[in-house]
Amino acid sequence: MDIQLLFSGVIFGLSLASIYFLISIGLSLCFGLMRIISLDQLLYYSIGAYITYSVVTVSNNFWLGIIAGVMVGGLVAFIVERLIFRRIYERELTFSMITSFGILLGGIGIIKAIWGVIPRPIKPPFANQINLLGTDVPAYRILVIAIAGLVYIGIWLFLNKTIIGKAIRAGIEDMNHVEGLGINASRLFTITFVLAGALSALGGGLYAPLIMVDPSMGLEILAFVFMVVIIGGLGSIKGTLISSIIVGQVVSIGSLIYAPLAIMAPFAMMLIILLIKPTGLYGNKLNK
Amino acid sequence: MLNAWRWWRGIIIAFSLVAIGRLFLPLPFVNEVLIFSIYTIGCNFLLGRVGFISFGQPAYLAIGAYGTAFYLFYFGTNPYIGILAGVTAGFIFALIVAPLFVRLRSDYFALVNLALAVIIFYMMQKVLVKITKGDNGLWFLTNITSTPILDLTKPSDFFIFALLIAIVLWAFYKYVDGTIFGACCLATKINETKFQFLGYSNFRIRLMAFVIANTSTALAGCLYAVYLGSVSPEITSPSRTADPIVVTILGGVGTLFGPLVGTIAYTGLRDVISKMIGNWELFIGFILVFIMLTNSSGLYGGAENALNKWLEKARVSNLNKKKPK
């Protein structure tokens, strides 16, 4: 395999990893703080992509579309949190999983009702290639990677430098103590959930030009997002970053070697990691 | 004799009702109900007894269905041997993945299982395309030969066969619920630390329960394959992974006849609603969220509770009447 192909494969893998990271960070944060498994993040991902599609076709401005997608994704997350998740935080983990899967399926039904079942293409904002180390790589993919990097830095700063972020981190350790300190837990949960939803929507909006937008896109990416979350360990942000890079690279390089490997290799890897460490790379014991 | 009757009573009444329903309802509907309820009872056992929430049931369904399909498409023509081949395939597959899966915590278990269903879907659709014919699926209806006593190529005979299988399976699950093994399953669901302290192995009990439940799911897959005469990757598509969970919850988690009642309600509603609006997922999603939020114990569970309460009330009032004398 020549070096140029490998290099473009790595860039491709990194851009995939960025998308996986943006979606799974929401799942991971929600699990860490609220002890729920929120499968409906994949719904906000689809909503982000569809709103981006609609705004782009109307206004012809891609960035406006992304902003609208993130805002609508966050808004839907806010409504869902207020109406549904509010009532089930105290319940068992499996309970939230079934409910959120219901929300995901219902949401896909609504998307089908509004936009129909036909896949829709979105034009990338710019199609030119950048010459990096003698290899031509699409500029848009580099941009996606850069945005994901910025998001990671932003989340890191948010969690480590702001008081709300510090409260979230403390809540991941022990929610009862945080409440005892007089911090409004329900507001904290809402903020985290909306943040997670908005990030998933951002992931959807950014990924939309690279694939077709279709109603079952959330279900298609679901397996990969799960693998990322499981390999990294639920509730760990660093683990999510590392495992999304691993999965992205395995999918990309694997498909260069032998096409079916793109799907099977990460799954096999996940099984091996679970065999060694049943809670994933950075996951810790659940005490609930 | 009386005890035996008491033990069999529920099962016989329930399936006589199904058999009577066969006279009024269209045959495809009744057959679908029987196969689907066999499909769901494994999931019901896992969720209600062992506390495993399995979003990956379609994976085991597909393994059973493809086991049967490969036999009937490539090798032989006898449907009974096909079903046997499918069940064996499902059993072996469950045995392979079980040691890996049952060690996991319930949340990881659910996620990994769902990922497994998606992977099996991709495998059947893309990776093994040479053997499985991809999205077109395998068609082998004409390959199946008629057998002398119960001719499975005829839907009416198939109904009798499926009914017998269902009765045997229900009796089996009822028997399992009553044994020490069934009690152990419930104990590992409720308090695994204490259960371990008592000297039992959580791992072994879960492994057995997992293999039993998924083998019965594979059996449903075999029945689907023989009944429809074709198998396509659609059987394990990601949007259908929630079906058994929905039916289990709709019928009542952990009850013996929950899956049957849930299946009848679900299949009936699906037939009615998909005729009115084409948007079936929307409906499942809302049912699921609604049942979870109202915290009800499902159709059969709710009816059972109400009946027990009523019987208790009648008994108490009888006692009160007798007391003065």
- Total number of domains in chain A: 1
Q: Which residue has the tokens 């790379």?
A: A281
The mean pLDDT of A233-238, rounded to a whole number, is 80
Is residue B314 in some structural domain?
no
Determine contact: A93 vs chain B, CB below 8 A.
yes
Give the CATH number of the domain where residue A270 resides. 1.10.3470
Nearest CA in chain B to A39: B111
Encode pLDDT of A174-192 as tens digits: 778 888 888 888 888 888 8
pLDDT digit string (tens) for chain B, length 325 residues: 778 888 888 888 888 888 888 888 888 888 888 888 899 888 888 888 888 888 888 899 999 999 988 888 888 788 888 889 999 999 999 999 888 888 887 777 887 888 888 888 888 887 777 777 877 878 887 777 777 777 777 888 888 888 888 999 988 988 888 888 888 888 888 888 888 888 888 888 889 999 999 999 999 999 888 888 888 888 887 777 778 888 888 888 878 888 888 888 888 888 887 777 767 778 778 878 887 777 667 777 777 788 888 888 888 888 777 766 5
CB A245 within 8 A of CB A14: yes
Hey, what's the torsion of the CAs at A119, A125, A127, A130, to 10 degrees?
A: -130
CA dist A264 and A287 (Å) reads 32
> A288 pLDDT band (50/70/90 cuts)?
very low
Is residue B318 in some structural domain?
no
In Å, how far from its chain's centre is CA A192?
Answer: 14
Q: In chain B, which residue ranges form alpha helices assigned H by DSSP?
A: 2-24, 27-45, 57-70, 79-101, 106-122, 129-132, 155-178, 180-190, 192-197, 202-228, 243-251, 258-276, 280-294, 299-322
CA dist A235 and A284 (Å) reads 8
| Helix (H) / strand (E) containing A135 | strand A135-138
- Total number of domains in chain B: 1
Encode pLDDT of B301-319 as tens digits: 777 788 888 888 888 888 7
Is residue A18 in some structural domain?
yes
Q: B110 to chain A: which residues are within 8 Å by CB?
A: 37, 94, 97
Encode pLDDT of B259-299 as tens digits: 888 888 888 888 887 777 767 778 778 878 887 777 667 77
Handedness of CA B118, A228, A35, B107 (dihedral sign): positive
Is residue A111 in some structural domain?
yes
Is residue A123 in some structural domain?
no
User: Model's pTM, two decimal places?
Assistant: 0.83
The angle at the Cα of B308, spanning B302 to B313, to the nearest 5 degrees, equals 125
Domain span holding position B90: 11-239
Give ipTM to 2 decimals.
0.77
In Å, how far from its chain's centre is CA B31?
Answer: 14
B163 half-sphere exposure, CB direction, 13 A CA radius: 20
> A229 pLDDT band (50/70/90 cuts)?
confident
Q: Which residue has the tokens 């899966």?
A: B101
Is residue B146 in some structural domain?
yes
pLDDT value, residue B218? 92
Q: B123 to chain A: which residues are within 8 Å by CB?
A: 263-264
Is residue A128 in some structural domain?
no
Domain span holding position A24: 3-116+135-276
CA dist A201 and A211 (Å) reads 15
| Helix (H) / strand (E) containing A250 | helix A237-257
Q: Do A99 and B123 touch (CB under 8 A)?
A: no
Residue type, A147: I
Relative to beta strand B230-231, strand A135-138 is: unpaired
Determine contact: B111 vs chain A, CB below 8 A.
yes
Query: Has residue A5 got a pLDDT over 70?
Result: yes
